[in-house]
Amino acid sequence: MFDEDDLEKVIRKILQEMGIVGQVKAQPATEADVEYLTRNEVCARLHITPTTLWRMGKRGEIKVHKIGSRNLYVKSEVDELVSNGPSADIEEKKGGVA
């Protein structure tokens, strides 16, 4: 059975033989630490409907990450929305005071 180091060495050797070692860059370690939320989880956190969430995604107010056939949202981005509250643009469109 291969351990992680052995597997990495084998992959590195294959890539060297193919001549593409310099072309492949490792993903940052933080990518693996990203937590995603589902549509229902985001709606519950923001107290909005799925339709409102869809509109926010279309307007670019929240970034939608397509993973497979699922729409997922980065937890830290959603938490930032919660802490910052609605933006002035959204309030202005609703007829509120900016």
Q: What is the pTM of this model?
A: 0.55
Whether residue 52 lies inside any domain: the answer is yes
* Predicted pLDDT of residue 65: 93
Its domain, for residue 52, covers 35-98
**Most confident by average pLDDT, 36-40, 85-89, 93-97:** 36-40
CATH number, domain with residue 92: 1.10.1660.10
For the chain, the domain total comes to 1
Whether residue 12 lies inside any domain: the answer is no
Cα gap 44→29, rounded to integer Å: 29
> 8 or 63: which carries more pLDDT confidence?
63
Give pLDDT tens digits for 5-61.
888 888 888 877 777 765 555 555 455 678 999 999 999 999 999 999 999 999 999
* 86 CB neighbour count, 10 Å cutoff: 12
CA distances from 6 to 32, 74, 98 (A): 21, 33, 59
* DSSP H helices in the chain: 4-18, 29-32, 39-46, 50-59, 75-84, 88-94
Cα gap 56→50, rounded to integer Å: 10
* Predicted pLDDT of residue 23: 57
Contact 13, 7 (CB under 8 A): no
